[in-house]
Amino acid sequence: MDKILVTGGLGFIGSHTVVELQNEGYEVVIIDDLSNSSEKVLDGIVAITGKKPVFEKLDLKEKDKVEAFFAKHSDVKGVIHFAASKAVGESVNEPLKYYENNIGTLVYILKELRKLPSAGFIFSSSCTVYGQADELPITENAPVKQAESPYGNTKQIGEEIIKDTCKVSPNLKAIALRYFNPVGAHESVEIGELPIGVPQNLVPFITQTAIGLRDELSVFGEDYPTPDGTCIRDYIHVVDLAKAHVIALKRLLEGKNKSSYETFNLGTGTGSSVLEVIKSFEKVSGKKLNYKVVGRREGDIISAYADTDKANNELGWKTGLSLDDAMRSAWKWECKVRGK
C-alpha cells in the first residue's frame, strides 16, 4: 500500500487518523516534535492496530531536516498535515510563534511535495475560518470572515497558500478539511486527548473536573440568544473525524477529486449547547459535575454547526457516533489516564 506521512501524528486527531490509516493497510510514517504529545502514544497505536508506524522526531521549522526527510522518503504518496500550534489564547499573546510554526512549516512541506511525481495533501483546517457565520448551518460557501486570532488567521492563510500552490503544481492535489469540535477517544481507550497544562477545550475540562483535577468548570455566559442561553457548537467524535481523513486521502490518490483544491466541512450537522454537553456527560458517567456560570468570554461566537451535505454526498462520509458516545469514551479515557 501507499506510504503516507502524517505530521503531528502523535497528537489527538493525528494518532486516531494513524490508526484508521493502518487499519486500511497504508504504510504510515509519523513526524512529530513531541512539543504537545508523547512518544508513549505509539504504544497505544500498536495496541490497537498490531503495527508500529515509522516515527521520526523532527521539528518541521528546520528546513534542512524537512528536505533530508523527503530525500529519504521520496516514495511518499500523500501527506496529512496536522502539525501546528493550536491554542487560540496563546496565539494572541505569541503571534510570531504561530506564524512561524503554522505557516513556515507548511511552506517547507509544500516545497518538497512539488518535487514529487504526484502527491495528495490533506490540510487540517478549522471552522474558525467562518467566524460567526451569517447563516446556520454553515456551508462551504459561507464567506471566510476576518480571523479573531492569529491561530484562526494561520488556518485562513494556510488554505490560501495551498490553493495558490495547487494552481501552479499539476502534480499536487489537496483537500482542506474544516473541522468543527473534535471530542472523545478511541473505543479501546488506548489513545485519547492528552492536553498539556490547563485544557483549552470544553470536554477535557469537564472530565478533569469530574475526576477531581479541577475544582469546577466555568460556563462562560448564559445570556446568549440560544435555547438555554449558552454557546452552541458542533461536537464530532474524533474517530468519525479520523475516518474522514482516510476517505479524503483516497479521493485524491484515486483521482476522484473534482478540482486540484477542495474544501469540506466535517461536523455532525447538529449543534449542542454547553449545558447539553454537560448533561450528556452526567448521563453517561453517572457523576454530577461541579460547574458555575460566569461572565461571557471575549471572542466566543454564539453558535456554529456544520452543513455536512457536501461531505456526505461528495466524500460518501457520515458520522456514526453520538455525543453520548463521545462523552462516554472521553470519561473512560480520563479514568484510565488518572489510574481510576
The 10 Å Cβ neighbour count of residue 143 is: 9
Mean pLDDT of the region 83-87 = 93
Distance between CA atoms of 43 and 172, rounded to whole angstroms? 33
Mean pLDDT of the region 193-222 = 94
pLDDT in tens, 229-272: 999 999 999 999 999 999 999 999 999 999 999 999 999 999 99
Mean pLDDT of the region 5-25 = 98
pLDDT, residue 6, reads 98
Distance between CA atoms of 262 and 120, rounded to whole angstroms? 12
Mean pLDDT of the region 224-231 = 98
E-only strand ranges, 187-258? 217-220, 232-233, 235-237
pLDDT, residue 1, reads 87
Nearest to 260 by CA among 155, 141, 121: 121
pLDDT in tens, 94-134: 999 999 999 999 999 999 999 999 999 999 999 999 988 99
User: Which residues are registered as beta bridge partners of 122?
Assistant: 80, 175
Are 247 and 330 in contact, with CB atoms under 8 Å apart? Answer: no
The answer, yes or no, to whether residue 195 has pLDDT greater than 90, is: no
Domains and CATH numbers, the chain: 3-183+236-266 (3.40.50.720), 202-233+269-335 (3.90.25.10)
The answer, yes or no, to whether residue 163 has pLDDT greater than 90, is: yes
pLDDT, residue 300, reads 87
Catalytic residue (choose from 26, 98, 130, 151)? 151
Mean pLDDT of the region 76-95 = 94
151: annotated active-site residue = yes
pLDDT, residue 282, reads 98
pTM over the 0.85 mark: yes
The grid cell for 106 is 507548511
Residue count of the chain, please give it: 340
